[in-house]
Amino acid sequence: MVSITDVAKKAGCSATLVSRVVNNQYGVSEKSRQKIQAAIDELGYTPNGLARSLVLKTTNTIGVVVDTLCDAYFFDLIQAIEEEVGKLGYDVLFCSAGNSTEKKSSYINFFMQERVDGILIYGSALDDKKLITKLARSHFPFALIENDMGSLNVNNILLNNQYGSEVAVDYLFQCGCRNIAHVAGDENRQAARRRQKGYLSAMKKHGASNIMILQSGWSEEEGYNTLKEFLSTCRKADLPDAFFFSSDQTAYGGMRALLEAGIRIPDDVMLIGFDDDQPRNHNFSYVPLTTVRQPLSDMGKAAVDILISDIKEKKEIKEKKMFYPNLVIRQTTRKEN
Amino acid sequence: MVSITDVAKKAGCSATLVSRVVNNQYGVSEKSRQKIQAAIDELGYTPNGLARSLVLKTTNTIGVVVDTLCDAYFFDLIQAIEEEVGKLGYDVLFCSAGNSTEKKSSYINFFMQERVDGILIYGSALDDKKLITKLARSHFPFALIENDMGSLNVNNILLNNQYGSEVAVDYLFQCGCRNIAHVAGDENRQAARRRQKGYLSAMKKHGASNIMILQSGWSEEEGYNTLKEFLSTCRKADLPDAFFFSSDQTAYGGMRALLEAGIRIPDDVMLIGFDDDQPRNHNFSYVPLTTVRQPLSDMGKAAVDILISDIKEKKEIKEKKMFYPNLVIRQTTRKEN
């Protein structure tokens, strides 16, 4: 690395003078300033940001930890975060921790070491509770998206998953369905549990006694396998009126198994998913899916606003903001007139 | 933030002793170590990483600058980088600079300030040349993916775009096409210029005199508009035998315009794209596209290997590695027997 001494030597002046130019301070003649700037440019000198950060205690940067950067579903969230951060004069670094709490913890620690001013953490892994509880004690600014930490004093951007499921099941009842099965998602995800809870409460509200839960996961593959297995034991006459899936990917997998078995959608069975996501498998003709849409873009924007106001004001009481998903009606449901 | 003094106070010992525990040094009894660790955990103390980095001069982290994180096309690259970095015991931070050289420069500066050990820069914007030339003088480890910096002494992972186009045009000749038009991409991208150059050299090699270049961009929209405009002035009898597009997105747009005009693919006209990318618009039935595939995953892995070996060995002469794309034959071309 080029040091401040190298620059001073090249410009034929003292290191103090170079430091004044780097830090935009007074006491340097225009001529010296130009000579020093030329030396900085020629040598490619970069002021030591870590040392400066130690003094300035700010980076104007936030860090974002997500489970994966390789899922098109998150584009709305990433774009909203980038836009809002830019508007507020910050930069943003992203990293993905897979489903590893250990890795998430390691990235958070790295960010906290004065490399960013605050952190956004996306995801609803139940395993994260311990990590978040510890983080809350550190007084380092952060905000959680999606993972509901209950009464814990943390900035929390939430989606009402239970409400989303209730809206979906209500609509299936309006469509004339009575016999509605739920294809449940990843058990280790809070969101999947809340979605299942919403299914149960809506079924109870409508006085439905025929509760049917097929445990699956959130991937297309799991949805496909779950429905394929179910269909191998279920006579066509005993099919539910509708399947409410815990995620759109699960629904796309399930739809594939149903269509392959010659079951017509929505004539024989109606489907609703959750997320407003796109199919990843482009070698199949999907029926446009009725789904519960998360306002990911609004959530990303709110998360940035809450985090940056916490960075600036060091709030004692953290903010919680709840978002409500809405139903997007497409062609896998049909309402009776 | 919790300080080392807070921990010392809580544990009833000196700050020096806490520092020894934090830095895994000798001279602390097992009993004291446990008491101090308990205080660290309870208070959520994080050792000051910047101060430590200043001493250790290493972060075990690399930074990656891309144009966008919101393009599914880059998933192969991102995944390969994450996997390889993980194998070598490093972490990775991503940021996107849009098409702004200024923003790219700002992120690179931020990373260079001892926040990461090295940087990967993806993209082929011609405007970046000045920035890269300056960066090369700084002796900070970095590697470029895609942007060919010629004789500049930098780590450079390259794709032979010209070769890719030649392979595509050769194949169209094998399919019996003689009258081949090129739909050119973003003029400000080196890759787009090289792809056009490849088209020209292959046409020349085959002795074709009917050179036809339609200037377009790399987006689906631009491809659609370019072809729509072209078709409005071109009689069906005067159609080229084939279109070779500078990118798959351009090709998907062009395909949409062609199919809407009642032109059959590949019967009336054959198409080849570049990138092996998926359509983003799911409301249209695309013909599976013959294309030139970039080995993005191999390129990402090689970039990480070259960068990390440079970080470790501080090489005087930087590495260049050229990758060759290959043709993937699908249904928009048909070979004569």
pLDDT in tens, B72-110: 999 999 999 999 999 999 999 999 998 788 889 889 988
Of A46, A94, A134, the CB nearest to B138: A46
Q: Does A249 touch chain B (CB under 8 A)?
A: no
pLDDT tens by residue, B229-266: 999 999 888 899 999 999 999 999 999 999 999 999 99
Q: Which residues contact residue B280 at a Cβ distance below 8 angstroms, ignoring those fewer than 6 apart? A: B72, B220, B249, B252
Q: Count other Cβ atoms within 10 Å, centred on residue B307.
A: 29
Q: Which residues contact residue B193 at a Cβ distance below 8 angstroms, ignoring those fewer than 6 apart? A: B187
- Say if the Cβ atoms of B46 and A112 lie within 8 Å: yes
Fold of A4-47: 434 Repressor (Amino-terminal Domain) (1.10.260)
Looking at every residue in chain B, the average pLDDT score rounds to 90
pLDDT at B226 over 70: yes
A219: left (phi over 0), alpha (psi -120 to 50) or beta: beta
Tell me whether the omega of the peptide bond preceding residue A266 falls within 30 degrees of 0, making it cis. yes
Separation of alpha carbons A71 and B331, rounded Å:
27
- Say if the Cβ atoms of A110 and B48 lie within 8 Å: no
Q: Does A140 touch chain B (CB under 8 A)?
A: yes
Q: How confident is the model at residue A25 (pLDDT cuts 50, 70, 90)?
A: low
Residues 285..324 of B with a Cβ closer than 8 Å to A: which?
285
Structure tokens at A163: 């409400």
Taking the CA of residue A78 and the nearest CA in chain B, the distance in Å comes to: 7
Among positive and negative, which fits the CA dihedral A107, A113, A115, A118?
Answer: positive
pLDDT top residue among A166 and A136: A166
DSSP secondary structure letter of residue A94: E
Q: Which residues contact residue B121 at a Cβ distance below 8 angstroms, ignoring those fewer than 6 apart? A: B64, B65, B104, B108, B128, B132, B142, B143, B144, B145, B147
pLDDT of residue A57: 64
Q: How confident is the model at residue A336 (pLDDT cuts 50, 70, 90)?
A: confident
ipTM: 0.78
Q: Does B73 touch chain A (CB under 8 A)?
A: no
Of B49, B106, B134, the CB nearest to A115: B49
Chain A residue with minimal CA distance to B76? A70
| φ, ψ dihedrals at A292, nearest 5° | -105, 120
Cα angle: A209, vertex A211, A217; to 5 degrees: 170
Q: Hey, which of A312-321, B222-231, B284-293 has the most confident mean pLDDT?
A: B222-231
- Say if the Cβ atoms of B113 and A75 lie within 8 Å: no
| φ, ψ dihedrals at B95, nearest 5° | -145, 155
Buried b or exposed e, range A245-258, using 16+ CB within 10 angstroms: bbbbbbbbbbbbbb
Separation of alpha carbons A137 and A154, rounded Å:
10
pLDDT tens by residue, B137-184: 888 999 999 888 888 899 999 999 999 999 999 999 999 999 999 999
- Give the residue extent of every domain in chain A: 4-47, 60-159+296-324, 161-294
Chain A residue with minimal CA distance to B108? A46
CA distances from B169 to A145, A303, B210, B245, B264 (A): 49, 49, 13, 11, 20
- Say if the Cβ atoms of B110 and A278 lie within 8 Å: no
Please name which of A275, A282, A241, A283 lies closest in space to residue A258, comparing C-alpha atoms: A241
The CATH label, of 3.40.50.300, 3.30.420.80, 3.40.50.2300, 3.40.980.10, for the domain at A60-159+296-324 is 3.40.50.2300
- Give the class (CATH, top level) of A161-294: alpha beta
Interface test with A, best of B111, B115, B132, B281 (most A CBs within 10 A): B115
Among positive and negative, which fits the CA dihedral A188, A191, A197, A200?
Answer: negative
Interface test with A, best of B50, B134, B142 (most A CBs within 10 A): B50
Structure tokens at B216: 């377009």
Of A49, A138, A282, the CB nearest to B113: A49
Domains A60-159+296-324 and A161-294 in one fold: yes
Largest CA distance in chain A: 91
Q: How confident is the model at residue A128 (pLDDT cuts 50, 70, 90)?
A: confident
Domain B59-160+295-324, CATH 3.40.50.720 — does that match? no
